[in-house]
């Protein structure tokens, strides 16, 4: 579904991403783990076709993304780390605005908006102005907006960061449902424990279909399935300690440079 080949990005001749190659099939996920500044958000922006790479290719469902923007953009759903703009709109007005932008039929909009508000458990905020929302409520509204056009590729930047523990569990379950529907997910985080939560506790399908990519200085220090990563850590440690704890130590080791 998503095919990235030899992708590099330089800004003012300084390399930020270098020769990244990976594939994520329909119903699979890629968890991008890296410290702040590792290139995760930049990579998501490129995959969302918001930033053009310096070199390399991005294909979505076999279509070259940057040569066919009008064709691929409707297939992409991007949930950024921060909510920006439209603070004076109510939730329903915000969703109506994007429903029109996504060219949803007027007769379908009300039902679609009601459905996504209920799905994200924010129907009680329907007529409330966004400026009064908590960070977690704004995050849920972003997801509701993305659900409106039912994209095939979901790009999620720190989706668990602003949610309380209950909200995190609900969101991880939702990601699993998306995978079960055949959606492709790319999820960025700077917290190793999120990788464990996402892959071991929540995402649908087999763990072998969940890739983990550890970004360091614009390159993959590690790119392998969660199952393979589990086995490598267990073999290296020869211990039954919690994998989530060892994953933090493993991450620190491979990102030393």
Least confident segment among 13-17, 25-29, 105-109, 228-232: 228-232
- Tens of pLDDT, residue by residue over 18-36, are 999 999 999 999 999 999 9
CATH number at residue 48: 3.40.50.300
Nearest CA to 213 out of 57, 62, 28 is that of: 28
Name the H helices within 102-191: 106-119, 135-147, 165-180
Count of domains in the chain?
Answer: 1
Q: Where are the beta strands (DSSP E) in the chain?
A: 2-11, 14-24, 29-33, 55-60, 63-64, 76-79, 153-157, 184-189, 210-216, 219-225
- Tens of pLDDT, residue by residue over 82-125, are 777 789 999 999 999 999 999 898 888 999 999 999 999 999 99
Q: How many CB atoms lie within 10 A of CB 145?
A: 23
- Tens of pLDDT, residue by residue over 205-220, are 445 578 999 999 999 9
Least confident segment among 100-104, 183-187, 221-225, 227-231: 227-231
CA distance 212 to 207: 11
pLDDT given at position 243? 59
Question: How much is the pTM?
Answer: 0.91
* pLDDT higher than threshold 80 for residue 246: no
- Tens of pLDDT, residue by residue over 116-175, are 999 999 999 999 999 999 988 998 999 999 999 999 999 999 999 888 888 888 888 889
Nearest CA to 232 out of 257, 250, 207, 253 is that of: 250
CA distance 185 to 31: 8
User: What would the mean pLDDT of 189-193 be, rounded to a whole number?
Assistant: 91
Question: 85 or 10, which is more confident?
Answer: 10
* pLDDT higher than threshold 80 for residue 233: no
pLDDT given at position 219? 95
pLDDT given at position 107? 84
Which residue range(s) make up the domain with 41? Answer: 2-254
């Amino acid at each position: 579904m998503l095919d990235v080949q030899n992708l590099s990005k330089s800004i003012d001749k300084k390399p930020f991403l270098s020769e990244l190659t990976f594939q994520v099939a329909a119903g699979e996920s890629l968890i991008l783990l890296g410290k702040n500044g590792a290139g995760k958000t930049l990579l998501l922006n490129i995959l969302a076709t918001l930033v053009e790479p310096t070199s390399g290719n991005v294909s979505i469902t076999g279509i070259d993304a940057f040569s066919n923007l009008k064709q691929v953009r409707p297939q992409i759903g991007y949930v950024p780390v921060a909510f920006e703009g439209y603070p004076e709109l109510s939730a329903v007005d915000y969703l109506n605005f994007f429903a029109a932008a996504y060219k949803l039929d007027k007769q379908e909009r009300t039902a679609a908006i009601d459905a996504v508000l209920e799905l994200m458990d924010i129907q009680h905020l329907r007529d409330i102005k966004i400026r009064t929302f908590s960070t977690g409520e704004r995050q849920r509204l972003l997801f509701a907006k993305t659900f409106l056009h039912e994209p095939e590729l979901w790009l999620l930047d720190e989706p668990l960061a602003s949610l309380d523990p209950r909200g995190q569990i609900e969101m991880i379950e939702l990601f699993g449902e998306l995978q079960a529907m055949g959606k492709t997910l790319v999820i960025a985080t700077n917290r190793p424990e999120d990788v464990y939560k996402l892959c071991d506790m929540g995402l649908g399908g087999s763990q072998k279909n969940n890739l983990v990519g550890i970004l360091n200085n614009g390159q993959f220090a590690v790119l392998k399935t969660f199952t393979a990563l589990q086995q490598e850590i267990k073999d290296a440690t020869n211990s039954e300690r919690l994998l989530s704890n060892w994953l933090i130590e493993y991450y620190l080791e491979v990102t030393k440079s």
